[in-house]
Structure 1
Amino acid sequence: MAETSKTALDESAPGPAARRLILKLLVASETETLDASDAIRACALFGISDNNARVALTRLANANLIETAGRGTYRLGSEGRALGEDISAWRSAEQRVRPWDGTWVAVLIAGLGRSDRTALRVRERALALVGMRQLEEGLYVRPDNLVGGVAHARERLYGLGVETSAPVFTVRDLDTGLESKARGLWNGKELVKGYRDSRRLLEKSNARLGTLPVELAAKEAYLLGDEAIRQLVFDPLLPEPLVTVADRVAFGSEVRRYDEAGRSIWQRFLAARG
């Protein structure tokens, strides 16, 4: 995927960046299209000006993330369709998990340069997305509990921007000290607490969305749903006994329910043109 696609959703702001919001609305669209006027209305909910919304549309089109589908209407472009698949991958996350036999996937980045800040940022994001943590200087690991094993991990790391000169391999039979250190790289209790807290937050919001004006409901559903999905996207998908898997599964199920409710609310909002 092109570098533009990798960074298109990375913008940080108090609310959603215009480009991120527009892309996600297109990914969720039942008709697979979005009118420019609806994009502008959606952006206005979050205090994004008409001009900034139009600039975002232009930049997304220039990056092949969206393309015109008629006068004033857009659909996902070639880069956007690929990115849309990445955005939606969280839905099937648990299907990518397999039983863990104690083996670790490792990547050695000690020989890679650190002077190129862009390359370093891409590398660090890739390692985070694959759920890897540093065991020793320049050596990152994760449990080998994902479908496809080391071959898939290697393909994903390289696809996300890690230099192909970085060896990706499996490690087993660590000594007692390193094994204990590896298992302690993630705070399993904190992860489980995050699953439970976020699940309760979504349940509480879902119960009250129907009582809110559609504009407020759409805004709340987007902000809370976006944060919950981000939590799943960056979740390392650890096995037992490092986390309580049942709590992660329950959280994922609640995110899917909340996402469906949010989609319905946004359809109502976009249909209610003034």
Structure 2
Amino acid sequence: MPNIAGLTLMSAVRHPNTMATAKTTTSTHTITPKDLVEGFLRAANPEPLTIKSLLTVGETLGFSANAIRVAISRLCAKEQVISDSRSCYRLTDKTLAINSFTDRWRLGESRVRPWQAHWICCHLPQGMGRTERNQAQKALSWYGLKLGLSGLYIRPDNLNLSIQELNSQLIDVALTPNASLFRAYDFQEHQTQQWQRLWDIKAIETRYKSHYEKIAKSANNFFEKPIEQSLSESLILGGDTLRVLTLDPLLPAEMIDITLRKKLSDMMEEYEAQCRKLWTEVIARLEE
């Protein structure tokens, strides 16, 4: 099934000079031509889209043809989008590889298992270059690991993955193969208590509640709004919520109210089904 539009971690980058303002049910946010192009190509995947279709939907949301063309050109230059001889565009394998990471949220609570008070640890080797270290730290953060001791990143060992599976997935999102990933326990109690405070539990639970309320409100009358408003909301609210779910640290019940996480995930599935229906209809009309 295709993702709803704009649901990619890369779309967090904003281009202030080419923004369009979209009023949602809760507040005023912005989407960019880049968000729009990525979102439509993702929704259409594996089929390509013509430049005409991308320009038309861009115009629907208030973007100039030039802004859409510039966005496409930049995405092509970054090897995130590729064109063929028919002036059609699709996402590259490089971009689609991120989908396997962002799609993890669909697995819900099957991604975790009961916590036995053990920890997953990752030690980064000394002598790493700045770029390599930054990429490794980002990869670890995407899987909920925090810096616990000098050079040692940790998280509760409640992911439903073997160390080999987790290591492979981390390397796929740019962790250096020279990192050492392992399970450990028997840490001193004061140390593990300190580690549990590394995550802002109140902020995470507040995000669960806030995003649930926003998409529930949007879904309530999704097909009764003007199409440009529903398209904008699917980009903005859907994208923001997916980032919350995708980057969620998946903490265990001993640390956080997991019912809030499940409630948000279930609501997002319903909302995505509505968004997918709308985007599929729009794409079908554009490609006629």
TM-score norm. by structure 1 comes to 0.84
Separation in 2, partners of 1:250, 1:182: 26
CA contact (8 A) 2:82 2:90 kept: yes
Alignment RMSD: 2.8
- C-alpha change, 1:207 and 1:169, in structure 2 (3 Å) is same
Q: How does 1:48-127 map to 2 (within 5 A)?
A: 48-61=63-76, 63-68=78-83, 71-109=86-124, 111-113=126-128, 116=130, 118-127=131-140
Aligned partners of 2:146 and 2:153 also within 8 Å: yes
Aligned with residue 130 of structure 1, among 119, 124, 143? 143
Number of the residue aligned with 2:55: 40
Query: Which segments of 5 or more consecutive residues in structure 1 lack a partner in the other structure?
Result: 1-5
Equivalent residue pairs, number: 267
Between 1 and 2, higher relative CO (CA 8 Å, sep ≥ 6) is seen in: 2
Deviations along 1:210-257, whole A, 9 cap, x unmatched? Answer: 221111111112110000001111100111111111211110011111
Deviates more, 1:242-251 or 1:260-269: 260-269
* Paired position in structure 1 for 2:24: none
Which of residues 149, 169, 188 in structure 1 aligns to 2:201?
A: 188
Establish whether residue 143 from structure 1 lines up as the match of residue 156 from structure 2: yes
Q: Which of 239, 242, 251 is the equivalent residue of 1:226?
A: 239
Q: Deviations 1:149-205 (Å, cap 9, x if unpaired)?
A: 322232222222222222221120111100111222112233222212211111111
- 1:110 and 1:184, CA in 2 relative to 1: closer, same or farther beyond 3 A? farther
Give the whole-Å Cα distance in 1 for the aligned partners of 2:190 and 2:120: 18
Within-5 A mapping of 1:154-169: 154-169=167-182
Paired residues of 2:35 and 2:235 also in contact (CA < 8 A): no
Q: Unmatched 5+ residue regions in structure 2? A: 1-7, 20-29
- Distance (Å, rounded) in 2 between the aligned partners of 1:78 and 1:173: 43
Task: Give the letter for the 1:12 counterpart.
Answer: R
TM-score by length of 2: 0.81
Q: Secondary structure at the match of 1:101?
A: coil
Q: Deviations over 1:98-142 (max 9, x none)?
A: 22211111112362446x3x3343233212101111112322101
Does the CA contact (< 8 Å) of 2:108 and 2:262 recur in 1?
A: no
What SS does the corresponding residue of 2:183 show, helix, strand or coil? strand
Query: Of residues 230, 248, 259 in structure 2, which corresponds to 1:246?
Result: 259
Determine what percentage of the aligned residue pairs are the same residue: 25
* Residue in structure 2 matched with residue 3 of structure 1 by the alignment: none
Distance 2:127 2:113 in 1: 31
Describe the SS at the equivalent of 2:224.
coil
Counterpart-to-counterpart distance in 2, 1:132 and 1:226 = 23
Q: Deviations over 1:77-117 (max 9, x none)?
A: 33243233333332224322122211111112362446x3x
CA distance in 1: counterparts of 2:205 and 2:10, whole angstroms: 29
